[in-house]
Structure 1
């Protein structure tokens, strides 16, 4: 049976997506690039050629070179010629992360981004010298014990897209994936 052009294109794109579904984020290996929302599109060029569009979590993300290589090598192993195109606009947002990715972040020990974020508050706690969340901000929940009694100890955590927090109940530090 010979597939028509449209069915053939669909099959190639479907096979590419299936192959890309196995690629994980180099910095958070429990989450796939697709779950993170980094892989934006697959464009069919020809039977043996595709373009994969990716958007970094932020423009200076050091993992992008590794992501490029992983995408390129995975698809070359399928016998495809591939162009990996970085698209900066629209800018990546944590809204592109799937709920599965957020659940995996939490299980991995990284607090997922809150959906609602307000403007930073200047309110200071005299006892702990910590900024309290304003009424429009959601507290960052500790991924280890579930407490919302946490504070930001550094604007940057293990990577620039995360902040470092500490739980005042279990006393454990943890990364918080900053919402964008």
Structure 2
């Protein structure tokens, strides 16, 4: 019995079997249709139920539609955050090299932001990328400060929220303070 229609009552089925079939086909909760109501009431119940289900599908479809305009970048993937993250890693690598030890992000790196930017620009041979030589130092400093604030990095390049897996947040849609 592929399709359960209202003509099924005319067949050899009892009304109770027909109601169970209607509930199964249209996924209407069991017991909602009682045998005492008329065929017209059952038709209206099915139409109402299907209307509600179609509305739910339409709402979900609207959520999936492409929004006009430029696609949004995930939170935490902006230039400020990437600059701060690059300097965070650079500061800890540099400190570990100077102190002749393994890199440990739980130990402070006492290097000022401006000095880190200068060192990053020196290390950047091409002159483009995150720290272009054409951008003013004060603009870069402001950008890094905003990124440090978003990531929860303090003045000694410590970030308890980032922990040992500091690049892990790039795979997420949020930075640690927005989670």
Same-fold call, TM > 0.5? no
* Larger helix share, 1 or 2: 2
- Which TM-score bucket, shorter chain as reference? under 0.3
* Larger strand share, 1 or 2: 1
Higher relative contact order (CA closer than 8 Å, sequence separation 6+): 2
